[in-house]
Amino acid sequence: MIPDEEVRLSRMVSGGGCAAKIGPGTLQGILESLPAFQDENLLVGIETSDDGAVYRISDELALIQTLDFFPPMVEDPFVFGQIAAANALSDIYAMGGEPKTALNIVAWPNCVNPKILGQILAGGADKVKEAGAVLAGGHSIQDDVPKYGLSVTGFVDPRRMYTNRGARPGDVLLLTKPLGTGIINTAVKADMASSQAEQEVIRVMTELNRRAAGILRSHQVHACTDVTGFGLAGHGAEMADGSGVSLEFYGSVLPVQPEAAEYARMGLVPEGSYRNREYLKDRTWVQTEEAWLEDIFFDPQTSGGLLVSLEESEAEAVEQEAREEGLPFAICRIGKVKERERWSICLTE
């Protein structure tokens, strides 16, 4: 048994958080070989790489199902549990739904005190409770690398659900959280991040998208997804390709966490960023000479914000309501939707 004082969760893994995802190119090749399932009530399945599956129960009710888990990227077990739970719950919000039930997913080394696992589960339960859902069980296995997450079920009116494939030319793109978590977490793991940067990235990752989703629910959203391991670029490309449009992002107004640009300039970039960049190279047009900005664009996020496509008048109303409600992070206008061009996504100055 490793002494508790010597346990450093983030040092037990090669990649933590959503940066540990299988690369998008590898994943696509695997998923293409799976059989297609046909059911008239399956409204959203595997085909569009959306945030969750949606199954219609009636004309007014559908189930959203999702799951997400990963290795730790922070040392505090309670905080890790909060982050993992917030990340999993976000998929429900990205589909326009409300989380209802959650199940724990656990992999745990037998050489680490199970009391530490208890703290992780307590952190996860804290966020499930904050989301207004109930924690109803789970499953655990022994593994050399600790991992934690949730399987979440939510409800949505199928007439009001969001997908990642409804963006329309002329729409405005909004983002509900700042970028840079992968880069800052890399700096933290290298013991090169300031305490302020570390505290801020935890604040970003533990914040539920619940309040932002509540504002969006009263507006006409054309497309929505949450920005996680494939970065703003990767999830933006999924939205662009699924909608048959191109997305243009304005680099000068992208919300970036403090010090993320500095760490990117120092080369503190997670491996997942390079996988994302390689996968998207033939679908991306970059019009900036700022290398750090490209790093932010491809940076794998953990428990990131919602990327939303909607008409400009609706976007203005959402921004105004967010200011009035005092959300912890501004809902920022970061780009626009264009008619389909030869590229899926564009990053400009």
- Same-domain status, 83 and 187: no
- Same-domain status, 216 and 96: no
- Same-domain status, 242 and 309: yes
Q: Are 301 and 205 in contact (CB under 8 A)?
A: no
Give the per-residue pLDDT at 67: 96
- Same-domain status, 137 and 265: no
CA-to-CA dists, residue 200 to 204, 205, 329, angstroms: 6, 9, 11
Could you give the CA distance from residue 333 to residue 317 in angstroms, rounded to a whole number? Answer: 12
- Same-domain status, 109 and 176: no
Boundaries of domain holding 190: 172-348
139, part of any domain: yes
Domain count, the chain: 2
167, part of any domain: no
Q: Are 100 and 60 in contact (CB under 8 A)?
A: no
Residue 97 CA from chain centroid, whole number: 16
- Same-domain status, 194 and 104: no
Give the per-residue pLDDT at 27: 73
163, part of any domain: no
- Same-domain status, 36 and 97: yes
Q: 250: which 2 tokens? A: 């304005």
CATH code of residue 68: 3.30.1330.10
- Which of 18, 224, 332, 346 is catalytic? The answer is 18
- Same-domain status, 178 and 230: yes
| Local structure of residue 24 (DSSP, 8 states) | H
- Same-domain status, 151 and 231: no
Give the per-residue pLDDT at 33: 74
Residue ending a domain, among 93, 125, 156, is: 156
- Same-domain status, 188 and 304: yes
Whole-angstrom Cα Rg for the chain: 19
Give the per-residue pLDDT at 11: 65
- Same-domain status, 66 and 33: yes
Q: Is 332 a catalytic residue?
A: no
pTM above 0.75, yes or no: yes
- Same-domain status, 151 and 277: no
pLDDT along the chain (349 residues), means of 10: 61 65 73 81 89 96 96 93 98 98 95 90 98 97 93 97 97 98 94 96 97 96 96 97 97 96 95 93 92 96 97 96 93 97 94
Residue ending a domain, among 129, 156, 183, is: 156
